[in-house]
Amino acid sequence: MAFKIIVCAKQVPDTNEIKIDPIKKTLIREGVPSILNHDDANALEEALKIKDQYPDTHITVITMGPPQAKDLLIECMAMGADDGILLSDRALGGSDTWATSNAIAAAIGKLGGFDLIFAGRQAIDGDTAQVGPQIAEKLGIPQVTYVADFSIDSDMKHITVHRALEDGYEIIKIETPCMLTAIKELNTPRHMSIGGIFDAVKKDMPVWGAKDLGVDTDREVGLEASPTNVYRSFTPAPKGKGIVIEGDTDKELADRLLINLKKKHVI
């Protein structure tokens, strides 16, 4: 029996490349490349490391997104994943984290059994860190988030992880099946291999819609079913020209700087 790992991944715009149009105050998305979300790459890498050690491991990557998200699955397979499934359907569009986790949990259910699910802690476009735990909740399995170190016993059942905290870490024991969310401290993701690319492009990739998943498009997935909605959105006030801090004494200068930094919530 192969050890079955599911990796949840997301294609995201490279936020480092996103800029604000200084006049129209809108996001410039043109020419911004889509990339495999960073934490998700760590999630996949950890799965691949298990497969390096135990070749009888099967890795399926699941992603939800527009049809172009197939490219993400190609990338994951070119890194070494066995197969990929794309959840793509107009009816899934606009899902918030609750609805997204419904769709992905349904897809995982449809795949049948699994031993382990790896997801990235959060995606750089939304930074919510909610989908991983919410999938786990819907599947009724335990979770550890912020995983910074991972090891599994040779019984392929008992897992020990380090869960990063702000001021240290916890060592936690957990058993399969479970959900682990990865942070970048966990590992350094490998590259695609050239040979992997030529295999991956040829592979069949199932695309599942709401019907295939058997989810209710009024109550479980999509914009309408999502409990949260966007009320307004806007670009932050533009970074103004710098301020020269004035003051009569050095203490005054220091105090005024700190007040400004505090006001900006950066300290």
Partner 1 sequence: MDFQLTKEQEFVRKMVRKFAETEVEPIAADCDKEHRFPEETVKKMGEYGLLGVPFPKDVEGAGGDHISYAITVEELSRCCASTGVICSAHTSLCAWPIYAWGNEEQIKKYVPDLCSGRKLGAFGLTEPNAGTDAGGQQTRAEDMGDHWLLNGAKVFITNGGYADTFVVMAMTDKKKGTRGGISSFIVEKGFEGFSIGKTEDKMGICASSTTELIFQNCKVPKENILGNPGEGFKVAMSTLDGGRIGIASQALGIAQGAFDVTVEYMKSRKQFGKRLADMQALQFEMAEMKTRIDAARLLIYRAADMKDKHLKYGPASAMAKLYAAETAMYVTTKAVQFHGGYGYIKDYPVERMMRDAKITEIYEGTSEVQKMVIAADVFKK
Partner 2 sequence: MAIEIIKEKCIGCKLCLKACPFEAIDMVGKLAVINEKCTACNQCIDVCKFSAIVKTEEAEGPVDLSAYKNVWVYAEQRAGKLMNVALELIGEGRRLAREISDDAKVYAVLVGNGISGLKTECFEYGADGVVMIEHPLLENFTTDGYTKVFFDAVNEYKPEIVLFGATHIGRDLAPRVAARLNTGLTADCTRLDVKVSSYVDYAKKNTTLDTSTLDPNSDDKGLKQTRPAFGGNLMATIICPRTRPQMATVRPGVMTRRERKPGAKGEVIVYNPSLGDSDIRTKIVEIVKSAKEIVSLTDADIICSGGRGLGDPSGFDLIKQFADKVGGVVGSSRAAVDAGWIDHSHQVGQTGTTVKPKIYFACGISGAIQHLAGMQTSDIIVAINKDPDAPIFEVADYGIVGDLYKVIPQIIAEWDSAEDLYEATLR
Question: How many Å apart are CA 143 and CA 145, to the nearest integer?
Answer: 6
The Cα-based distances of 215 to 10, 34, 86, 96, 261 in angstroms read 20, 28, 15, 15, 48
- Do 156 and 176 meet the contact criterion of CB atoms below 8 Å apart? yes
Cα-based angle 182, 184, 190 (whole degrees, multiple of 5)? 95
How many residues bind partner 2 (CB under 8 A)? The answer is 95
Question: How many Å apart are CA 19 and CA 34, to the nearest integer?
Answer: 15
Restricted to residues 40-99, the positions that interact with partner 1 (CB under 8 A) are 74-75, 78
Contact between 138 and partner 2 by CB under 8 A: the answer reads yes
Question: How many Å apart are CA 21 and CA 24, to the nearest integer?
Answer: 6
Contact between 29 and partner 2 by CB under 8 A: the answer reads yes
The Cα-based distances of 30 to 23, 126, 212, 226, 257 in angstroms read 16, 19, 33, 28, 37
Restricted to residues 182-211, the positions that interact with partner 2 (CB under 8 A) are none
Q: Judged by CB, which is closer to partner 2: 30, or 56? A: 30
- Over the Cα atoms of the chain, what is R_g? 21
How many residues bind partner 1 (CB under 8 A)? The answer is 14
Contact between 192 and partner 1 by CB under 8 A: the answer reads yes
> Least Å distance between CB 168 and partner 2?
4
Contact between 195 and partner 1 by CB under 8 A: the answer reads yes
Binds partner 2 (CB under 8 A): choice among 151, 198, 201, 258:
258
Restricted to residues 196-215, the positions that interact with partner 1 (CB under 8 A) are 196-201
Q: Which amino acid makes up residue 167?
A: D
> Least Å distance between CB 202 and partner 2?
27
> Least Å distance between CB 211 and partner 2?
15
213 binds, among partner 2, partner 1, none (CB under 5 to 8 A by kind): none
Restricted to residues 97-126, the positions that interact with partner 2 (CB under 8 A) are 97-98, 101, 124-126
Could you list the residues that contact partner 1 (CB under 8 A)? Answer: 74-75, 78, 191-201
